[in-house]
Structure 1
Amino acid sequence: MDKKITIAIDGFSSTGKSTLAKQLANALGYVYVDTGAMYRAVTLFAMQNGYIAADFFDKETLIASLPFIHLQFKFNPDLGFAEMYLNETNVEKEIRTIAVSNFVSKVAEVSEVRAKLVEQQKQMGKDKGLVMDGRDIGTVVFPDAELKIFMTASAQTRAQRRYDELKEKGDDISFEEVLKNVEERDYIDTHRVDSPLVKADHAIEIDNSHLTREEQFDKVLALVNSIQ
């Protein structure tokens, strides 16, 4: 491309935002940032320290601990993408579990958590040439992004994708549990007071319920090329 741009990809959980973002970043030679991994890492920290469980959430202690949470992406040449490190420890596998998924939307509701991570995310994209995915990239982090994508699919479709992915990893889980998690996260993400999940102004909506990964990638790459 003649000029570098910022690509913001928002959408519901399990719509394949990260997969698409990685594909675009690799094709364009851009930096890829998985903001969901950042919120998942903070959630894992809260779980490890006993700040959150099924029946309680000690928000104040988590907020007080934010200065002690160091997040870093480190590129893994064998995988071809950057992995998430929490306080110098690789937590890429741990943050992808259903246990973390069950709490991440609650942690992401906390304004102080969002403020800390949004500040870091804005800094990462100051030089453009970036693909970032999440829930508020086009609305809060990069409202002036040259290309904004909003991804969606039916809850059943997304739950099936997530279920297949977890089963492939060997997780012992039911489809009903995954579907419940998807629906609960949708509600929390769209109803939170701070930066709820909404389609950003000028965002292009893509329903990938019936699209293959290749079809989706080709469609978005064409949009990127049209901005040149």
Structure 2
Amino acid sequence: MIIAIDGPAASGKGTLARRLAAHYGLPHLDTGLLYRAVGAACLAAGGLGDAMAAARIAHDLDLTSLDADALRTAEVGEAASVVAAVPEVRAALLDLQRRFAAQPGGAVLDGRDIGTVICPDAGAKLFVTATSEVRAERRFKELSGRGDAVTYDEVLADIRKRDARDSHRAAAPLVQAPDSALLDTSTLGIAEAFAAALALVEARRAGT
């Protein structure tokens, strides 16, 4: 069983993906970390302007070397959104993601183009969203809790900028797949959101 979860930044898709993976005993891949890793490497190399260099970094990416905590900064998140718009980067990471999904028994993947590009035939697809204000509040609490010097207004502006970039890029834009179930987490706590997500997956597995 492959579960594809898409949605914008701070919608809760990663938390739900991890919980669904644990519930079903499936491996989980946060594909956003791949783009964060590429963005961080580009920043370390001197900038984000060289598409070919970014593609080479993406091609050589090693899943076992990803440090999720180190890749959660606001700067890296912005860099990830920039490199994710580069078609050559997306092409370099496509096979890696599909191979992960093709593991025996299936997998859970979350990102922005899982149900539309990476795993269009996934058995269950969710599109997780929330208002930009709610998502900004979540991300602000996360970043400030890590000690990042950010304001809510800065985070909200960044969320809206990333939404626009992700939704309007030429390569694999963020859109809801026609056959995915919509889950708005704006007013839901984690437990409520998980219960709703699990019900949607079970309904899809049952063919209803």
Alpha-carbon distance between aligned partners in 2 of 1:195 and 1:104, rounded to the nearest angstrom:
14
TM-score between the two structures when normalised by the length of structure 1: 0.85
Which position in structure 1 is the counterpart of 2:157?
A: 180
Question: What is the DSSP-based 3-state SS (H/G/I as helix, E as strand, rest coil) of the residue aligned with 1:196?
Answer: coil
Identify the residue that residue 29 of structure 1 maps to in structure 2: 25
Which amino acid counterpart does residue 51 of structure 2 have in structure 1?
Answer: K
Give the CA deviation at 1:66.
4.2
Structure with a larger share of its residues in helix = 2
Partner AA of 1:71 in structure 2 = D
Structure having the higher strand fraction is: 1
Number of the residue aligned with 2:11: 15
**Residue 193 of structure 2 aligns with which residue?**
216
Please state how far the C-alpha of 1:58 moved relative to its aligned partner: 2.0
Calculate the aligned-residue CA RMSD, in Å.
1.4
Aligned pair count reads 204
**Which residue identity is paired with 1:70?**
L
Deviation at residue 11 of structure 1 after TM alignment: 0.5
SS for the counterpart of 2:23 is helix
SS of the residue aligned with 1:206? strand
Q: TM-score scaled by structure 2?
A: 0.93
Aligned to 1:156: 133
- 1:62 aligns to what? 54
The aligned runs of 1:45-194 (5 Å cut-off) are 45-52=41-48, 57-67=49-59, 69-73=60-64, 85-86=65-66, 91-126=67-102, 127-194=104-171
Shift of 1:112: 1.1
Identity %: 40
CA contact (8 A) 1:101 1:181 kept: no
Give the secondary-structure state (helix, strand or coil) at the position aligned to 1:172.
coil
In the alignment, the residues of structure 1 paired with residue 14 and residue 24 of structure 2 have an alpha-carbon distance, to the nearest angstrom, of: 15
Find the aligned partners of 2:144 and 2:57 in 1 and give their Cα distance.
34
Kindly provide the amino acid, as one letter, of the partner of residue 115 in structure 1. A
Deviation per CA, 1:20-43: give whole Å up to 9, x if none: 000011111111110000110010
**Matches of 1:64 and 1:142 in 2, distance apart?**
23
Q: Is the 8 A contact 2:52 2:88 kept in 1?
A: no
Q: Which ranges in structure 2 are unaligned for 5 or more consecutive residues?
A: none
For residues 87-138 of structure 1, the C-alpha deviation after alignment (integer angstroms, 9 at most, x for no partner) is xxxx322210001112211100111110111110101111342110000000
Shift of 1:224: 2.5
CA contact (8 A) 1:51 1:59 kept: no
- 2-structure distance, mates of 1:112, 1:192: 13
